[in-house]
Structure 1
Amino acid sequence: MRKLVYGMNLSLDGYITAPGDDLGWSEPSDELFQWWLDQERAIGLFLYGRRLWETMSSYWPTGDQQPGVTPAQAEFARNWRETPKVVFSSTVGEVGWNTRVHTGDAVDEITRLKAGDGEPMRVGGASLAGAAMRAGLVDEYEIVTHPVLVGGGTPFFTAVDSWVELNLVETRTFPGGVVLTRYETKR
């Protein structure tokens, strides 16, 4: 069975984007960016909701060709293009970069994918991750908290139907007061 990971940068008050989908508060240090790259290299399949797909696909297909790109950013772009991806949407049309669109029930498809063998999967996008959380499919949470309050936006967590008990498996501090907490779901 494959592991399903949900992790993103979030503000101290729990948002992955500020009002207006502003991400300006979450600029990673080189050390944090390298950590994210290392995490992404271990993922065998990315699962995206429409909005996160649009954000990622607007930059990373050519991220390694941008002016001033760092070696880690270039490697992130190459890894992003090469890693298989599924976009869960009924409105996204044509996709590229090793990606397919799934228009059916997201929870059923994630359950099917999770039941197979392979490397871990990462779910991204608050709505899609929320559905996976409510279905009890998320095995690990990677929470990278930035020391900023944004006052609203898109929350990282969604309401769940019952308690989800977690085990803390890692903490780490990055430059600028950014803190990683990584949890595994108790089963």
Structure 2
Amino acid sequence: MRRLCYGMNLSVDGYIAAPGDDLGWSAPSDELFEWWLDEERAISLFLYGRRLWETMSAYWPTGDQQPGATPAQIEFARNWRDTPKVVFSSTVDEVDWNAHLVAGDAVAEIARLRSGDGGPMRVGGAALAGAAMRAGLIDEYAIVTHPVLVGGGAPFFHPLDGWANLDLVETRTFPGGVTLARYETRR
């Protein structure tokens, strides 16, 4: 069985994007970017909701060609292009960049993919991850908290039908007061 991971940058008040989809508060330090790169290299399949897919596919296909791109950004772009992706959307007509489109039942497809063989998967996008959380499919949470309150926007966590007990397996501090808390779901 594959592991399903959910991790993103979030504000202290629990948002992954401020109102208006503003992400300006979450610019990573070089050290944090390197950590995210290492995380992404370990993933064998990315699972994206429509909004995160649109954000990622608007930049990373050519992220390595941007003026001033760091070696880590160049590697991140190459890794992003090379890693298989599944995009869950009923409004997108086609996807590219090594991606496959699924318009049907996202939870059923994620459960099917998780039950198969292969390396770890990462779910991205709060709404898609929320559906996977409610279905009990998330095995690991990587919560990277930035020291800012944004007051609203897109929440990292969505309401659950019941408790999900977690075990803290790692903590780390990055420049600028950013902290990582990694949890595994207690099964």
TM band (smaller chain): over 0.9
| Uncovered stretches (5+) of structure 1, i.e. residues with no partner | none
RMSD: 0.4
Equivalent residue letter for 2:19: P
CA distance in 1, matches of 2:74, 2:92: 26
CA distance in 1, matches of 2:116, 2:99: 18
**Matched residue, 2:174:** 174
CA distance in 2, matches of 1:59, 1:91: 20
CA distance in 1, matches of 2:99, 2:10: 26
**What does 1:61-140 correspond to in 2, within 5 Å?**
61-140=61-140
Deviations 1:13-51 (A, max 9, x none): 000000000000000000000000000000000000000
Shift of 1:94: 1.9
Q: Following superposition, which runs of at least 4 residues in structure 1 exceed 4 angstroms of deviation? A: none
Q: How many residue pairs get matched? A: 187
Shift of 1:96: 1.0
CA distance in 2, matches of 1:96, 1:80: 12
What secondary structure sits across from 2:76 in the alignment?
helix
Shift of 1:118: 0.5
Deviations 1:66-109 (A, max 9, x none): 00000000000000000000000011122111101001100000
What secondary structure sits across from 2:104 in the alignment?
coil
CA distance in 1, matches of 2:32, 2:79: 17
| Uncovered stretches (5+) of structure 2, i.e. residues with no partner | none
CA distance in 2, matches of 1:84, 1:92: 18
**Matched residue, 2:52:** 52
Equivalent residue letter for 1:18: A
